[in-house]
Amino acid sequence: MLTVSLNAEQRAKVEQTAALQSDCDRLAGSAYDKDRNASFAPVGIDEIGAGAIDACRTAYEATKNPRFAFQLGRALNKAQEPDEAMSAYQAAVDGGYSAAKVNFGMLMGRMGDVQAEFKLYSEAAASGNVLAQYNLGVAYRDGLGTSADGQQALHWFEEAALGGDDTAAFNIGAMYDEGTLVPEDNQTAIAWYDLAAQRGSTDAMINLGLMYETGEGIASNPERAAEMFRSAAEKGDVFGAYKLAQIEERGVVPPAPQQDDLAESVSTLVLKQGDVEPFGVKPKDI
């Protein structure tokens, strides 16, 4: 067998390209991308580092790996370069990259092509992308690119919730709370709100607090209501702070914070991740 030895210049070029690939993964990897390079911590789109555009563009041009095209799209999106971001996402989608379909779908929806948006979410959701599952739930709930379908919305929100998405869990609670697309069921709404609250959803904390305050679907418990409002206020929720002040004016004092306090809030109803089988928030991108 013949072997090929690289000269110093060629080796330097290979090493430089490899370094830029690592830089792209380090600076622009998404937490919602199950195919990202797990050697590096993911970053939010607002936290994408300087140099990501050049690193990802060079990495993609050298390898044609759609992961780098997707991450290039994220970096361009952060830099407010929508046309170039669209081109990068399109390249990643053409390469079959699941995570890119979520962002490209969102952009297509903003351009008015909701049918393309729905199609891209559907493809990415079927591949197991949690954010696509969430966005597909929103599409079925709100009739974006398809007919409104409460059961399909619940299915995809449940899939996303099982994947750890707290907003999906909140939306399930809201659907059962409102009773528009599915029959109203306050007990089920409370259970899903509780799960979402445990995961940090301030919207769920507020709605739980209101249900405790009014006795909707559960025995009235002003102290628990104050506890929920305080938890939301501590996370910066203005309405939670307002409700906490309002309820404290009536002489209600929330119990002292305890570790795992939320986990015990409705212990007879709470759903934990894995206990189920596979409103008001719009689709998200990554």
Residue 189 maps to which CATH number? 1.25.40.10
Q: Consecutive sets of 10 residues in the chain, 286 residues long: mean pLDDT of each?
A: 55 65 95 93 92 94 95 95 95 96 94 96 96 97 96 97 95 96 96 95 96 93 95 96 94 72 39 33 54
Whether 172 and 251 share a structural domain? yes
Query: Does residue 257 fall inside a structural domain?
Result: yes
Confidence at residue 206, expressed as pLDDT on a 0 to 100 scale:
97
Gap between the Cα atoms of 64 and 58, Å rounded: 10
Whether 104 and 186 share a structural domain? no
Whether 107 and 172 share a structural domain? no
Whether 272 and 176 share a structural domain? yes
Whether 186 and 264 share a structural domain? yes
State how far Cα 171 lies from the chain centre: 12
Report the number of distinct structural domains present in the chain.
Answer: 2
* Enclosing domain of residue 84: 13-112
Name the token pair of 2: 């013949």
Confidence at residue 273, expressed as pLDDT on a 0 to 100 scale:
34
Considering only CA atoms, which of 48, 91, 38 is closest in space to residue 68?
A: 91
Considering only CA atoms, which of 138, 70, 113, 76 is closest in space to residue 283?
A: 138
Query: Does residue 75 fall inside a structural domain?
Result: yes
Query: Does residue 7 fall inside a structural domain?
Result: no
Whether 276 and 180 share a structural domain? yes
Gap between the Cα atoms of 195 and 216, Å rounded: 18
Q: Where are the alpha helices (DSSP H) in the chain?
A: 8-28, 52-63, 66-78, 82-94, 98-110, 114-126, 130-142, 150-162, 166-178, 186-198, 202-214, 222-234, 238-249
Query: Does residue 18 fall inside a structural domain?
Result: yes
Whether 22 and 98 share a structural domain? yes
3-state secondary structure of 65: coil
Whether 185 and 273 share a structural domain? yes
Select from 112, 129, 149 the last residue of a domain: 112
Residue 55 maps to which CATH number? 1.25.40
Whether 20 and 93 share a structural domain? yes
Confidence at residue 15, expressed as pLDDT on a 0 to 100 scale:
60
pTM strictly above 0.85? no
Query: Does residue 140 fall inside a structural domain?
Result: no
Query: Does residue 144 fall inside a structural domain?
Result: no
Confidence at residue 265, expressed as pLDDT on a 0 to 100 scale:
40
Buried-state track 66-87, b at ≥16 Cβ within 10 A, e below 16: bbbbbbbbbbbbbeeeeebbbe
Query: Does residue 176 fall inside a structural domain?
Result: yes
Select from 112, 131, 146 the last residue of a domain: 112
Whether 99 and 169 share a structural domain? no
Query: Does residue 155 fall inside a structural domain?
Result: no
Select from 94, 112, 130 the last residue of a domain: 112
